[in-house]
Every structure is written in C-alpha cells, then in structure tokens.
C-alpha cells in the first residue's frame, strides 16, 4: 500500500474542508490531512511554532487565497522564498476567477492554480482531472529529508 499523502490544507471555509476530505476518501487516496484556518496558522505549522511543534512536514499544500490574518498570496511568497520549504508543491484552490490572482500566484512560483467550482460535483471533476494525478502518480517530496536552515 502506498504511503499516505500528508496534506496541509489552508482553508477557512468548513464546507470546503469537508469537500476536500470527502474527495480524498472518494478516490481512495491514502492521506493524512491537517487543516488550518488562516495564513498565520499555516506559517506556524510550517515553521513548527507553538502548538505545531510536533507536526509533520506536508507532502503538498492546498492553499486558499482569501484567508483571515495573512492572505494566501503572502503565505505562498514566504513558502517559495524559503529554501527549507520551497520544494513542497503548493496548489492554490480558490474561489477567485481573477486573472490577476492567477498571475500573482504564478509569479510567486505556485505549482498549480485552480479556481473552485461552486459545487461539490464540479470540485470532484477538477480533482479527477488534475489532483488525482498529482497525489497518486507523481512523486511528492515527502520522502526527502527536510533541509536545515
């Protein structure tokens, strides 16, 4: 059996969190998902601060853009500018259909930018087309030891 994919889900909408978990179950993708509700928590998780000192390093980060406290674009920029984190694939999954948001995300080296559909069925189709490949076929960096700062 394949090793579970360790996912950091940065999302403030409880429905979207439930949808994401359901999709992993629906496609029988072995997973360990930890969700945080804002950008500040995401950075605390990644830098193992406070209550996150003993958490896993994610194999992949699923990041919303419009978050409380620290916005997703800023979180993405910090991740991709930090040599101890920048190899972790980041998928932006956002309600934004703004071309400007996509351009900013790609300028900040996002690995994939996906606009959320309005319903669960639409999200399932997107995951079927894009996410399943990245989570079941592509090699994620989770087996690589984290570089020291």
What domains can be seen in the chain, in order of their start residue?
5-138 (3.40.50.2300)
| Distance, first Cα to last Cα, the chain | 33
DSSP string, 86-102: TTS-EEEEES---HHHH
Q: In the structure encoding, which two tokens stand for residue 132, read together?
A: 């399943």
- Give the strand order in the sheet containing 31-36: 31-36, 5-10, 60-63, 90-94, 112-115
Task: List, for residues 78-130, the tens digit of each pLDDT value.
Answer: 999 999 999 999 999 888 889 999 999 999 999 989 887 666 676 666 665 55
What's the pTM? Answer: 0.84
Q: What is the pLDDT of residues 123-147, one digit of tens each?
A: 666 665 555 545 544 555 554 444 4
Q: Phi and psi for 121 in degrees, rounded to 5?
A: -60, -40
Q: How remote is the C-alpha of 111 from its chain's centroid?
A: 10
DSSP lists the bridge partners of residue 6 as 32
């Amino acid at each position: 059996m394949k090793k579970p994919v360790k996912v950091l889900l940065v999302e403030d909408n409880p429905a979207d969190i439930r949808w994401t978990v359901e999709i992993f179950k629906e496609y029988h993708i072995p997973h360990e998902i930890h969700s945080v509700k804002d950008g500040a928590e995401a950075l605390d998780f990644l830098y193992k601060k406070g209550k996150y000192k003993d958490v896993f390093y994610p194999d992949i980060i699923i990041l919303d853009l419009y978050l409380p406290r620290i916005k997703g674009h800023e979180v993405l920029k910090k991740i991709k500018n930090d040599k101890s984190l920048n190899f972790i694939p980041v998928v932006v999954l956002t309600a934004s259909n703004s071309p400007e948001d996509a351009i900013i995300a790609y300028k900040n080296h996002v690995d994939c930018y996906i606009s959320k559909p309005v319903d669960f069925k639409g999200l399932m189709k997107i995951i079927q087309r894009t996410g399943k490949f990245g989570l079941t076929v592509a090699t994620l960096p989770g087996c690589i030891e984290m570089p020291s700062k």
